[in-house]
Structure 1
Amino acid sequence: MTSVPPTPRYRALVLAMLLLVYTFNFLDRQILGILVAPIKAELHLTDTQLGALGGIAFALLYSTLAIPLALVADRTSRSWVITISLTVWSGFTALCGLATGFWQFFAFRLGVGVGEAGGVAPSYAMIADYFPPHQRARALSIYSLGIPIGLAAGALLGGLLASSVDWRWAFVIVGIAGIVLAPLFRLVVREPVRGAFDPAAVRAERVKVSAVFAILAAKPSFWLMAFAAAFSSLCGYGLAFWVPSVLIRSFGFTLLTASQYIGSLLLIGGTIGVFAGGWLADRLGGTDRGVYAKLPAIAWLVTVPLFAAGLTSGSPTWSWFLFLIPHGLNILWLGPVTTAVQHLVPPPMRATASASFLFINNLIGLGLGSLVMGRLSDAMTAVHGTDALRYATLYALGFYLVAAGLMLLAVKPLRRDWVG
């Protein structure tokens, strides 16, 4: 741990390295979604099985191990926890290229989840210690750009590699790249002083997980934001996983064309949406902390009709423009909400608090999103044929409305629960 105040240039370098690692985090998740078609054909899997691989296989241990690993990060070195996590999840990503059946693939995806469990919450906490409060939402939004960039990279690289070589090499190549990045990250990123930019009055000497849980449990804003994000993620992760297949089955795209189509949406819409969320929260939230919950709610309400119009449009070109705005709005919540969670507890508890939030968000959202849509698709195939998956994604948009309602309920409690 360094006691020397970080320079603005070094803070920017740290944020860039954390962003790069987070990009690999989502690249390794999304690459399965774009490769559904060749994997399904070779391994003879159903949409339900593929949805399980994209959801619960990854989320089960990813969600449950995040809290103990975050507690380790709060008590030891967060940079080391992130380094080891990156190595583990990248190794299991490479192993996915060797899978010969559903259960072997399921086991390797469990391993990816184990590794990624130690990446996000410690990163949130490090950013909070590298950046002062008035810059945190923007810093966390820049970090969260790893989501659209990683999703876009997974779609583009996965489609390109699968079309050029095969789907197995796509997993192997991106997995090895992550393993190579891990030692470089540890070499560059130093452990910051905990709570360096926070008043001494909100610091604590030692983290006790029971104390973190007790603080969060007593704050209604935590529960409302966590479940709102979870229902949003249920729809968001499901769409990210299945929309490439909708393009192939209902719009007649090739794998490569679908990867370019969805990759461009994620890269353009997603990056603008994530950064806009943090910028707006920092700009408007200084006088009203409720803005950190209000912004995501408004974004989700606008997302639903635009996504629905894109899914039902008969023109791929028109659908691209209809999809572009909701691809930004559906993840606008990341900067504001992750920042708000950081301010529900004292600084030394931030990684554990973030992991508690992510446990709810990921177990429900990531764990069930692709599985629910895949199961709906299988159930409706007899009626809708190749369009069954399109109808499954369309019906699932209702979860965004539930998310918006819960987030609006969080506005007033968040004003009372804010720390620091």
Structure 2
Amino acid sequence: MPPAPESHDSLPLLRRPAFVLAMLLVVYTFNFIDRQILGILAGPIKADLGLSDTQLGALGGFAFALLYSTMGLPLAWLADRRGRTRVIAASLAVWSAFTALCGMVSGFWAMFACRLGVGVGEAGGVAPSYALISDTFPPQRRARALAIYSLGIPLGSAAGILLGGYVAAAVNWRAAFLAVGLAGLAFTPLFAWTVRDPRRPQAGEAPAMRAVLAILARKRSFWLLALGAASCSMMGYGLAFWLPSLMRRSFALGLVETSQFFGLLLLVGGSAGVMAGGVLADWLGTRSRAAYARVPALAFLAGVPLFVAGLHAGSAALAFWLFLLPQALVYIWLGPILTAVQHLVPAPMRATASAAFLLINNLIGVGLGSLTIGKLSDLLTPHFGNDALRQAIQIGLGFYLLAAVLMLAGARHLAREWVD
């Protein structure tokens, strides 16, 4: 039986859950600024480096995901054994340095190598953070805490798009990479000095990686939720990368106007969806464990037709309002699914289990999402011309429907395979 948690009021400020969560949120915001800034800068980079849509898609997804996915497991295992905050701080420094280097490249392969480096760094940031939050917050508050942490996705994506657009318009796209990379490096010492792992008797005694993977391999809910998350991530990352380009091509928006359009869409819609998912999961999950998977599935089913309507809007203003609600709906999954994964293994295994989940989610979702839509756009261009990207995105919405089916199937197994 785990020891009784310390009273939050008796803890010093730097070890209180709210402070730890706030610092992790800042790190995750940097994570997504550095990850998503490429989307708003795709147009200037394409023109400057002479790239195709397929090459841009590879930079936005495959180059990042290749080592991001595969390095996550060993780094999470190290975090379970040696300390989660140490791994997170070192990871922040690495990905920030490579983001800054992206602003100094002269061709496709140099940018590809730098994006690989960003992926290596970010591989050590997310899974240890999930585990650290789960160690810090009680089960009845865990989905909301993970949802607050996941606000780093819309906040970081929006900040990357807005900052990238403004800095690129005022200076150039290279300055945008340098600015956000150096900001992350400046924050690293503060995080490393102030955040500590909670006291856990089992620290340093985490089970072998193969033991964690053996437990997960036997759980149907893990595979169905991980593949469902991968399916929705294919479209989520594909939209995040290509929607700014669609707005510029379809409505002739400038770089700053596009950054305002998509940045506000992510900030308002994405943030509302993330928090709604956490609140709903903590509320409905006390009645039925299956709710952790059913709520996201229903949100995906509701969001697809609204996205289709937005893709065929006659103006940018109408498209914004039509995209706003589905943008919230497709972010609902984060709090519930991430919480469910934490409860498929005992506490000492959480970072490694999260990394296994992220391996599947990111290798498929991040690695193939933007690349698939970019390739589809190139293939459809002879038939649809400037409308090819819209058609490619519309075809890709089918991945949200697949995610809904997989998560509904996973919901049937959650109650039996849940670990308190």
TM-score (norm 2): 0.96
1: CA distance, partners of 2:140 / 2:108? 47
| Residue range with higher mean Cα deviation, 381-390 or 111-120 | 381-390
Q: Does 1:288 align with 2:294?
A: no
Q: Map residues 187-336 of structure 1 onto 2, 5 A cutoff.
A: 187-194=193-200, 205-336=205-336
State the 1:4 CA deviation: 8.7
In structure 1, which of residues 117, 126, 146 is the aligned counterpart of residue 123 of structure 2? Answer: 117
Q: Which residue of 2 aligns with 1:5?
A: 6
1: CA distance, partners of 2:253 / 2:382? 22
The residue matched to 1:181 in structure 2 has which SS? helix
Q: Which residue of 1 aligns with 2:376?
A: 376
2: CA distance, partners of 1:204 / 1:88? 24
Deviations 1:48-72 (A, max 9, x none): 0000000010000000000000000
1: CA distance, partners of 2:377 / 2:208? 44
State the 1:7 CA deviation: 2.4
Q: Map residues 44-55 of structure 1 onto 2, 5 A cutoff.
A: 44-55=50-61
State the 1:194 CA deviation: 3.4
Cα contact 1:247–1:253 (8 A) shared by 2: yes
Report how many residues are paired.
Answer: 412
State the 1:6 CA deviation: 6.2
Q: Which residue of 2 aligns with 1:337?
A: 337
Letter of the structure 2 residue corresponding to residue 65 of structure 1: M
Which 4+ residue blocks in structure 1 deviate beyond 3 angstroms? 203-206
Identity of aligned residues (%): 62
State the 1:382 CA deviation: 1.2
| Residue range with higher mean Cα deviation, 74-83 or 309-318 | 309-318
State the 1:205 CA deviation: 4.7
Q: Map residues 62-211 of structure 1 onto 2, 5 A cutoff.
A: 62-194=68-200, 205-211=205-211
Cα contact 2:80–2:204 (8 A) shared by 1: no
Cα contact 2:81–2:205 (8 A) shared by 1: no
The residue matched to 2:224 in structure 1 has which SS? helix
2: CA distance, partners of 1:240 / 1:308? 16
2: CA distance, partners of 1:288 / 1:351? 25
The residue matched to 2:230 in structure 1 has which SS? helix
State the 1:328 CA deviation: 0.9
The residue matched to 1:55 in structure 2 has which SS? helix
The residue matched to 1:66 in structure 2 has which SS? helix
The residue matched to 1:410 in structure 2 has which SS? helix
2: CA distance, partners of 1:30 / 1:207? 34
Evaluate the alpha carbon distance shift between residue 195 and residue 152 of structure 1 in structure 2; reply closer, same or farther with a 3 A threshold: farther
2: CA distance, partners of 1:274 / 1:327? 10
The residue matched to 2:331 in structure 1 has which SS? coil
1: CA distance, partners of 2:201 / 2:174? 44
Cα contact 1:79–1:191 (8 A) shared by 2: yes
Cα contact 1:235–1:397 (8 A) shared by 2: yes
2: CA distance, partners of 1:195 / 1:356? 24
Q: Does 1:43 align with 2:56?
A: no
Evaluate the alpha carbon distance shift between residue 161 and residue 195 of structure 1 in structure 2; reply closer, same or farther with a 3 A threshold: farther
TM-score (norm 1): 0.96
State the 1:179 CA deviation: 0.3
User: Cα RMSD (Å) of the superposition?
Assistant: 1.4
Q: Does 1:410 align with 2:395?
A: no
The residue matched to 1:402 in structure 2 has which SS? helix
Letter of the structure 2 residue corresponding to residue 348 of structure 1: P
Evaluate the alpha carbon distance shift between residue 45 and residue 164 of structure 1 in structure 2; reply closer, same or farther with a 3 A threshold: same
Evaluate the alpha carbon distance shift between residue 396 and residue 195 of structure 1 in structure 2; reply closer, same or farther with a 3 A threshold: farther
Evaluate the alpha carbon distance shift between residue 36 and residue 195 of structure 1 in structure 2; reply closer, same or farther with a 3 A threshold: farther
Evaluate the alpha carbon distance shift between residue 6 and residue 381 of structure 1 in structure 2; reply closer, same or farther with a 3 A threshold: farther
Deviations 1:286-314 (A, max 9, x none): 12000000001001001110111101111
Cα contact 1:195–1:348 (8 A) shared by 2: no
Q: Which residue of 2 aligns with 1:200?
A: none
| Residue range with higher mean Cα deviation, 204-213 or 180-189 | 204-213
Q: Which residue of 2 aligns with 1:14?
A: 20
Evaluate the alpha carbon distance shift between residue 195 and residue 145 of structure 1 in structure 2; reply closer, same or farther with a 3 A threshold: farther
1: CA distance, partners of 2:34 / 2:356? 23
Cα contact 1:134–1:282 (8 A) shared by 2: yes
Evaluate the alpha carbon distance shift between residue 155 and residue 49 of structure 1 in structure 2; reply closer, same or farther with a 3 A threshold: same
Letter of the structure 1 residue corresponding to residue 226 of structure 2: A
2: CA distance, partners of 1:137 / 1:4? 18
1: CA distance, partners of 2:302 / 2:106? 42
